[in-house]
Amino acid sequence: MAAGQEVLAYCGRCKLDLMHNIIAHKEGNSGPVAKCQCRTCNAIHGFRNLKGSAGTVKARVIASKRAPRQKVEQIPCNVEWKRQLEEAASKAEVPYSISANFGVGDILKHPRFGVGVVQQLRDSTKVEVLFQDDVKILAHNK
Ligand SMILES: [Zn+2]
């Protein structure tokens, strides 16, 4: 970087990371910046490393935004399963069979996966079923 170029530095007067004109370098024209002039307040001062205050604020905002979102995203399978079973408590449990015809919200009992709640019909022969620890696609109506 030659003198006359610009550098992003911390201005002690503005208390911000701002563009500065480089006035002098420590070792020749390519050495570290020794002196710079703030383009905002025109103060000439030694080069100060960026405080990164803006970056810190940004990081904090992202972190606080991310925290509640994770809670919403990650509803454990078994919690949702339990909630849906409680909601459908009045429904009869139908033993799962490949020839049975299930509808959304039906409760079925699978010999291997246990009790499940039908989430949606994939097509005329496939249903998506929520079990205690996983969502499975089962064949039906065959
Ligand atoms: Zn300044």
**Ligand 1 centroid – CA 59 distance (Å):** 24
What is the CA(12)–ligand 1 centre distance, in A? 7
Show pLDDT as tens, one digit a residue, over the chain (142 residues). Answer: 455 689 999 999 999 999 999 999 988 777 889 999 999 999 999 999 888 655 455 555 555 555 555 555 677 889 999 999 999 988 999 999 999 999 999 999 999 999 999 999 999 999 999 999 999 999 999 9
Q: What's the CA-to-centroid distance between 19 and ligand 1, angstroms?
A: 9
CA–centroid distance, residue 72 to ligand 1 (Å): 44
- Give residue 104's pLDDT: 94
d(Cα 107, Cα 109) in Å, to the nearest integer? 7
| pTM confidence score | 0.48
Cα 22 to averaged position of ligand 1 atoms, centre (Å) = 13
117 half-sphere exposure, CB direction, 13 A CA radius: 19
